[in-house]
Chains A and B, each alone.
Chain A
Amino acid sequence: MSEIPSELRYTKSHEWIRTMDDGNLEVGITQHAQEMLGDMVFVELPEVGSTLGGGEDCAVVESVKAASDIYAPIAGEIVEVNDLLRDAPETVNNDPYGDGWLFRMRPVDEGELDELLDAEGYTGVVAADS
Chain B
Amino acid sequence: MPFIPHTEEEIRQMLDAIRVSDIDELFSEIPGGLHSGKLTSVPSGISEMDVGRIMLARSRQDGHYINFIGGGVYEHHIPAAVWELTTRGEFYTAYTPYQAEASQGTLQLLYEYQTMMSSLMALDVSNASLYEGASALAEAVLAAARARKKLNKVVIPRTVNPRYRKVVESIVRNQRIELVEIPFSVTEGTIDIDVLRAFDKGSVAAVVVPQPNYFGLLEDVDTLTDVAHELDALVIGLVNPTAMALLRPPGRWGADGADIVVGEGQPLGIPLSSGGPYMGFMCCRNKYVRQIPGRIVGRTRDDKGNEGFTLTLQAREQHIRRSKATSNICTNQGLMVVAATIYMSLLGPEGLRRVAARCHHNTNILLAKLTAIDGVYRCFETPFFHESVVRLDQPVADVLRAIEAQGINGGIDLSEDYPELGNALLTCATETRTVDEIENYATHLDRIMSRRSLDPPCAEKVAG
Direct contact of A and B (CB under 8 A): yes
Interface of A with B (CB < 8 Å)?
41-42, 44, 62-67, 69
Report yes or no: A64 in contact with B290, Cβ–Cβ below 8 A. no
Known contacts A67-B315, A67-B316, A67-B321; 11 further A-B pairs (Cβ under 8 A): A41-B315, A42-B290, A62-B315, A63-B315, A64-B315, A65-B315, A65-B320, A66-B315, A66-B320, A67-B320, A67-B324
| CB under 8 Å from chain A, chain B span 272-326 | 290, 314-316, 320-321, 324
- How many residues of chain B have a CB within 8 Å of chain A? 7
Kindly list chain B residues whose C-beta atoms are within 8 Å of the C-beta of A64: 314-315
Q: List, in ascending order, chain A residues with CB within 8 A of B320's CB.
A: 65-67
13 A-B pairs in the complex with CB atoms less than 8 angstroms apart: A42-B290, A44-B290, A62-B315, A63-B315, A65-B314, A65-B315, A65-B320, A66-B315, A66-B320, A67-B320, A67-B321, A67-B324, A69-B324
Chain B residues whose CB sits within 8 angstroms of the CB of A41 once the complex forms: 315
Residue of A nearest to B317 (CB): A67
Select from chain A the residue with minimum beta-carbon distance to B315: A67
Residue in chain B with minimal CB distance to A63: B315
Q: State in angstroms the CA–CA spacing of A62 and B313 once bound together.
A: 9
A98 to chain B, nearest CB (A): 25
CB closest residue in chain B, given A69: B324
A42 to B324, CA, bound (A): 16
CA distance A64 to B316 in the complex (A): 10
Q: How far is the CA of A127 from the CA of B301 in the complex (A)?
A: 37
What residues make up the interface of B, taking CB atoms closer than 8 Å to A?
Answer: 290, 314-316, 320-321, 324
Closest Cβ of chain A to B342, distance in Å, is 30
A67 to B325, CA, bound (A): 10
Q: Report the 3 A-B pairs with minimum CB-CB distance, sorted nearest first.
A: A67-B315, A62-B315, A67-B321
- Give Cα A44 to B313, complex, Å: 13
Most B CB within 10 A of own CB, among A62, A65, A67: A67
Q: Which residues of B contact A44 (CB under 8 A)?
A: 290
- Nearest residue, chain B, Cβ from A44: B290
- Shortest C-beta distance, B316 to chain A (Å), equals 7
> Which chain A positions have C-beta within 8 A of B314?
64-65
CB distance from B190 to the nearest CB of A (A): 38
A41 to B312, CA, bound (A): 10
Q: Which residues in A have their C-beta under 8 angstroms from that of B321?
A: 67
Q: How far is the CA of A63 from the CA of B324 in the complex (A)?
A: 15
- In the bound assembly, the distance between CA atoms of A67 and B86 in angstroms comes to 35
Q: In the complex the two chains form, what is the Cα distance from A62 to B324 in whole Å?
A: 13
Neighbouring A residues of B324 by C-beta, 8 Å = 67, 69
Which chain B residues lie closer than 8 Å to A42 at the CB level?
A: 290
User: Cβ of A69: which chain B residues have Cβ within 8 Å of it?
Assistant: 324
Chain A: CB-nearest residue to B310: A64
In the complex, what residues of B have CB within 8 A of residue A66's CB? 315, 320
A62, A63, A65 pick with most chain B CB within 10 angstroms: A62
How far does the Cβ of A44 sit from chain B's closest Cβ, in whole Å? 7
In the bound complex, CA of A64 to CA of B324 (Å): 16
The smallest C-beta distance from B314 to any residue of chain A, in angstroms, reads 7
Report the bound CA distance from A90 to B112 in whole Å: 29
Bound CA–CA A42/B314 (angstroms): 12
Give CA–CA (A66, B321) in the complex, Å: 7
Give the Cβ gap from A11 to chain B, nearest Cβ, in Å: 19
Q: How far is the CB of A105 from chain B (nearest CB, A)?
A: 19
Q: Note all chain B residues with C-beta closer than 8 A to A67.
A: 315-316, 320-321, 324
Chain B residues near A65 (CB-CB < 8 A): 314-315, 320
How far is A44 from B315 in the complex, measured between Cα atoms in Å?
Answer: 13
Q: A64 to B315: give the CA distance in the assembly, Å.
A: 6
- In the bound complex, CA of A62 to CA of B290 (Å): 11
User: How far is the CB of B299 from the nearest CB of chain A, in Å?
Assistant: 15
Cβ of A39 to closest chain B Cβ, rounded Å: 12
Within the complex, what minimum Cβ distance (angstroms) separates A63 from chain B?
7
Give B302 Cβ to nearest chain A Cβ, in Å.
Answer: 15
Q: How far is the CA of A62 from the CA of B314 in the complex (A)?
A: 10
